[in-house]
């Protein structure tokens, strides 16, 4: 299994580094005929927020560009009787000193929308999720009664977009059937000469300032990538708000929603306890089985990561790691396919409708998992 994971990483690195050598990547037409259910813009989020009646909506941060970061919550918030922060409680050998989680409290599920603004498939999923929780149906008029029933048994937290600045600068509302290089150009950005920063080159300059032609949607208007903020002294208001929500709400399970060219996959988290990494692998297996049952693609079920044994380090502490260490949550990254095209994928292997199903089935499996496999914290 570890060999499979390493092969996945090598393939991903080999592919994503290549575009950094390209200069002057052409732009396909920006006007696209998209299905009505494809709700991927900041305006779509604003419109959905205005329709919320069963949930509660709050603006938890304002981006450097002056754009709101919304939190939509469903279900009453339980009193968790906190008397210590999470790390102090763990040092006292019982996380229940931070929050009691037993049969008297509801599980809390945290869906964090894209902190990379071009990974807009996740906005589509979360806007459709809000619509399901409000009406019972997604924007295709497909009913999701089991998802609604599971959500009623939980407290559900939704941030539709964690980086509205980045989303506002992305000129495309879908990358399905568009070149991956176009996604890379506007996602990770370019230098002044037009060459692509690519991955992981876009992480080598942070904040992203100086030799910048196009500021990629990875970043807010101050050049901060929330996935790699300075978590002991956050630079971005968006990051501060996300971390505050986790500390206050104490989610049982949290997902940071991302997108890539490849098949959908639950990624393993770094610097989490081994028992939590094993739970992430278990969840990934459930997601794969659900997708298979519904004719949807899935990547590999990845084993727990062993942290660096030699220098230089390759594993890193990111937003997902920080969410766990501030709240004890089972936090992981999920990668949804863009449906973009390249030499590896000359035709998209998912449609827009597939992506909505991929998203909503993930959310349903997460709710199911936390209801069936919740960790109990008792004093």
281 pLDDT exceeds 60? yes
Q: What's the pLDDT score for residue 24?
A: 76
Give the domains, in start order, of the chain with CATH numbers.
57-372 (3.40.630.10)
Q: Rounded mean pLDDT of 183-201?
A: 96
- pLDDT at residue 31, as a whole number: 82
Residue 236, sorted as left (phi over 0), alpha (psi -120 to 50) or beta, turns out to be beta
Q: What is the 8-class DSSP label of residue 341? A: B
As a whole number of angstroms, the distance between CA 260 and CA 345 comes to 12
Helix, strand, or coil here: 275? Answer: helix
CB 219 within 8 A of CB 74: no
> pLDDT above 70 covers what percent of the chain?
94
Tell me: the pLDDT tens digits for 299-341? 999 999 999 999 999 999 999 999 999 999 999 999 999 999 9
Collect all residues with Cβ–Cβ distance below 8 Å to 310 and sequence separation of at least 6: none
How many Cα atoms occupy the beta-carbon half-sphere of 215 within 13 Å? 18
CA distances (Å), 359 to each of 129, 199, 343, in order?
A: 9, 24, 26
- 195 neighbors 22 (Cβ within 8 angstroms): yes
Q: Is the Cβ–Cβ distance between 364 and 150 less than 8 Å?
A: yes
Nearest one of 375, 355, 328 to 110, comparing CA atoms? 328
**Structure confidence by residue, pLDDT tens digits, 18-39:** 334 567 788 998 888 999 999 9
- CA 107 to the chain's CA centroid: 19
Spatial separation of the C-alpha atoms in residues 246 and 277, rounded to whole Å: 19
Residue 242 neighbours by CB under 8 Å, 6+ apart: 112, 115, 159, 162, 226, 319, 323
Report the number of secondary-structure helices (H) and strands (E) in the chain.
11, 7
pLDDT higher for 245 or 12?
245
- pLDDT one-digit tens code per residue, 83-107: 999 999 999 999 999 999 999 999 9
Strand partners, 259: 336
C-alpha of 170 from chain center: 17
Cα–Cα distances (Å) from 94 to 107, 193, 245, 378, in that order, read 18, 54, 22, 8
Report CA dihedral (196, 172, 156, 269) to the nearest 10 degrees: -20
93-102: burial string, b at 16+ Cβ within 10 Å, e else? eebbbbbbbe
Structure confidence at residue 5 (pLDDT): 44
Indicate the average pLDDT of the chain. 94
Question: Which tens digits make up the pLDDT trace of 196-214?
Answer: 999 999 999 999 999 999 9
Average pLDDT over residues 260-285: 97
């Amino acid at each position: 299994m570890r060999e499979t994971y390493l092969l996945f990483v090598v393939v991903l690195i080999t592919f994503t580094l290549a575009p950094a050598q390209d200069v002057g990547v052409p732009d396909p037409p920006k006007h696209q005929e998209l299905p009505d259910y494809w709700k991927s813009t900041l305006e779509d989020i604003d419109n959905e927020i205005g329709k919320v009646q069963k949930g509660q909506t709050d603006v938890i941060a304002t981006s450097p560009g002056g754009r709101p970061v919304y939190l939509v919550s469903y279900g009453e918030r339980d009193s968790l009787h906190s008397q210590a922060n999470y790390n102090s409680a763990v040092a006292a050998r019982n996380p229940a000193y931070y929050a009691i989680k037993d049969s008297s409290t509801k599980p809390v599920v945290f869906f964090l929308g894209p902190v990379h603004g071009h990974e807009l498939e996740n906005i589509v999923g979360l806007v459709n999720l809000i619509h399901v929780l409000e009406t019972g149906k997604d924007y295709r008029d497909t009913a999701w009664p089991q998802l609604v029933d599971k959500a009623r048994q939980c407290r559900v937290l939704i941030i539709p977009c964690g980086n509205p600045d980045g989303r506002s600068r992305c000129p495309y509302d879908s990358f399905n059937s568009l070149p991956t290089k176009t996604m890379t150009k506007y996602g990770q950005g370019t230098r002044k000469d037009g060459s692509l920063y690519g991955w992981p080159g876009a992480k080598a300059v942070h904040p992203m300032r100086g030799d910048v032609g196009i500021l990629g949607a990875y970043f807010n208007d101050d050049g901060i990538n929330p996935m790699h903020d300075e978590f002991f002294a956050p630079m971005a208001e968006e990051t501060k708000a996300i971390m505050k929500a986790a500390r206050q709400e104490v989610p049982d399970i949290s997902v940071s929603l991302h997108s890539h060219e490849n098949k959908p996959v639950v990624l393993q988290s770094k610097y989490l306890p081994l028992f939590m990494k094993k739970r992430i692998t278990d969840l990934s297996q459930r997601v794969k089985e659900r997708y298979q049952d519904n004719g949807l693609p899935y990547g590999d079920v990845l084993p727990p990561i062993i942290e660096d044994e030699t220098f230089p380090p390759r594993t890193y502490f990111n937003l997902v790691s920080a969410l766990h260490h501030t709240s004890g949550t089972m936090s992981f990254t999920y990668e949804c396919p863009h449906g973009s095209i390249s030499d590896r994928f000359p035709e998209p292997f998912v449609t827009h409708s597939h992506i909505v199903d991929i998203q909503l089935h993930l959310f349903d499996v997460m709710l199911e998992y936390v209801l069936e496999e919740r960790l109990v914290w008792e004093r």
